[in-house]
């Protein structure tokens, strides 16, 4: 069933306003031991998505007054918006959502996956009541810092591919500024653009305590002003982090790549114990070619 049809079944067409109790439907009355102002507060300030699901299942009045649909995930691809029909996101996304014309808002609990550019997220945000997604994939999006904060306040594993975050002066945030706004994350995958690295980027991110606790860090399209000497030292000091770096010859000088290749050779003999050696790619070729016995040329980023 299309999610819009399921939502339509929740709505009621007739209920009477009373100061003490409310109606779950026109056929069955539900009485609450709370005055009307308490019920209104609960209605407008749901504390969690689990509580909200229980409320709208117990009494349709809540949904009729505040139309919020809880979904585990929201995916946007070439065929439009969809979610998974299962209780948790399994990336099947088999339930289409006619979101732009829908008379409700969404509460996303697990995953936000936007794979189509063109400002989709900016148009999507007014349709979202709350985003509690811990996993997030944003491809070629343009967001303000406030929009970014709204979407990412609970994210743990973001993937930002060609996505720009604009500050109050409409200038793109540098990579370190983005990390500063994500103190709760445990890993990151990031595709660099032309102007999101400064001379101090590497120095600042290697000083961030939450970055030192990452489980994984994937950096793609690394530009020539990225301080590789400082970052290579950081990698050796934090071997518990799984690093994946990607470089391309159209953006880098020969001198820069000599340094990268020399470090890749060093990694082949560096002791890593139970940790995984960094993967360093140049034009999609793994220069380290180890990965604890995995000889695949291309890692799944």
pLDDT per residue over 161-200, tens digit each?
A: 999 999 999 999 999 999 999 999 999 999 998 789 998 9
Question: Residue 158 has what pLDDT?
Answer: 97
CB-based burial label for 247 (10 Å; 0-12, 13-18, 19+)? buried
Indicate whether 263 pLDDT > 90. yes
Tokens read off for 123: 């148009």
Tokens read off for 70: 């809880």
The Cα–Cα gap between 2 and 5 comes to 5
| Tens-place pLDDT, residues 137-167 | 999 999 999 999 999 999 999 999 999 999 9
The Cα–Cα gap between 21 and 36 comes to 7
List the helix and strand counts (H, then E) for the chain: 11, 16
Question: Residue 8 has what pLDDT?
Answer: 55
Tokens read off for 223: 């530009």
Strands 105-114 and 95-96: unpaired
Against a cut of 0.95, is the pTM above it? no
| Tens-place pLDDT, residues 190-229 | 999 878 999 899 999 999 999 999 999 999 999 999 999 9
Question: Residue 58 has what pLDDT?
Answer: 80
Tokens read off for 225: 């002003």
Tokens read off for 283: 């034009």
């Amino acid at each position: 069933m299309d999610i819009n049809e399921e939502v339509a079944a929740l709505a009621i067409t007739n209920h009477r306003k009373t100061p003490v109790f409310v109606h779950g439907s026109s056929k069955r009355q539900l009485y609450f031991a709370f005055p009307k102002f308490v019920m209104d507060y609960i209605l407008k300030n749901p504390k969690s998505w689990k509580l909200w699901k229980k409320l709208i299942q117990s009494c349709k009045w809540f949904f009729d007054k505040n139309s919020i649909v809880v979904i585990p995930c929201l995916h946007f691809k070439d065929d439009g918006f969809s979610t998974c029909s299962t209780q948790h996101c399994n990336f099947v996304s088999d339930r289409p959502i006619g979101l732009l014309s829908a008379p409700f808002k969404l509460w996303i609990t697990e995953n936000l996956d936007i794979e189509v550019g063109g400002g989709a997220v900016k148009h999507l945000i007014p349709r979202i009541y709350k985003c509690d997604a811990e996993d997030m994939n944003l491809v070629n999006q343009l967001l303000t810092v406030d929009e970014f904060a709204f979407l990412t306040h609970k994210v743990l594993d973001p993937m930002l591919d060609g996505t720009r975050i604009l500050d109050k002066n409409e200038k793109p945030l540098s990579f370190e500024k983005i990390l500063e706004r994500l103190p709760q994350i445990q890993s990151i995958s990031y595709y660099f653009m032309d102007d999101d690295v400064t001379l101090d980027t590497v120095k600042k991110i290697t000083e961030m305590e939450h970055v030192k606790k990452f489980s994984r860090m994937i950096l793609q399209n690394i530009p020539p002003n990225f301080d590789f000497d400082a970052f290579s030292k950081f990698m050796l000091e934090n071997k518990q982090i799984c690093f994946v770096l990607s470089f391309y010859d159209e953006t880098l000088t020969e001198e820069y790549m000599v340094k990268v290749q020399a470090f890749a050779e060093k990694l082949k003999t560096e002791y890593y114990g139970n940790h995984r050696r960094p993967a360093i790619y140049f034009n999609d070729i793994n220069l380290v070619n180890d990965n604890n016995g995995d000889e695949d040329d291309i890692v799944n980023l």
